[in-house]
Amino acid sequence: MSASLPTSSASQPASQSSINTVAIVGAGTMGLGIAQVCVQHGLPTILFDINADMLPRARQAIAAGLSKLVEKQKLTPADHEAALVRLTLTADLAQVQADLIVEAVVERLDVKQRLFQDLARQNPVTSIFASNTSSLPITRLAAGIPHPERVVGMHFFNPAPIMKLVEVISGVATAPAVADAVYALAEQLGKRPVRAADAPGFIVNRVARHYYVEGLKVAEEQVAPVEVIDELLESAGFRMGPFRLMDLIGVDSNFLVTSAMYEAFHYDAKFRPSRLQQQKVDAGHHGRKSGRGFYEYPAAE
């Protein structure tokens, strides 16, 4: 299963390549979720994390996710085993070589740029570099990367194995054929891709940012406690209130996105990060992954 582009010599840039292998950088919640989707749909996938201790847990989480699909009869036991065979885990960055490399690391421009620069030295120019960023400009991310036409946004949503939407974001330098290939691949992964321009927050996070920001303002002003705010919004039809959703996403990750958008919109007050959320981050209350955020979570969760 592959998303193909016009064939050409291997010396040409990524806009003339095919996607047959994938590498994911970052074995956190998003990275392992994207890796599960890829191996489930037949793609040999490398999952890298600089912290080797993350890898066994990532494999266990992916296996558990695939097992749930077997229980729901959406996957056969044989398909489950075959998917795990396609998964390679590594803490050695030198092994991260693939047709498509998706970064799912911390939401910092300098970290992502440095990563792509390192990967460019060991991958051919035919490799596509995709960012799972939810807010950072693809054009700025591609700046300083050899062959910036191969850099594109491929923004999955949490949890990646379940959520259908994928934003495909083209920066100023992104080759149309690269965006086309990533769009086609997202379709092959069972997703519903949409094309987005390289604007702050793209589509979803620009619209959704105020769901969090206004909820936090209401809590800061002590209009109502977080539990009441969540219950009211859930009763209005939202699947999760803003505070339960921030705990699921990661309070720290959500705060970084808001901070990045605040800067990108030249410190427009309507995007101002919350002091309440800053305190949670400073205290290490990052949500479900840390056992405590706006709510507390038993260790079994």
Cα 255 to its chain centre, rounded Å, is: 15
Which amino acid appears at position 281 of this protein?
Answer: V
Cα–Cα distance, 198 to 36 (Å, whole number): 27
Cα 10 to its chain centre, rounded Å, is: 28
Q: Mind telling me the catalytic residues? A: 134, 155, 167, 205
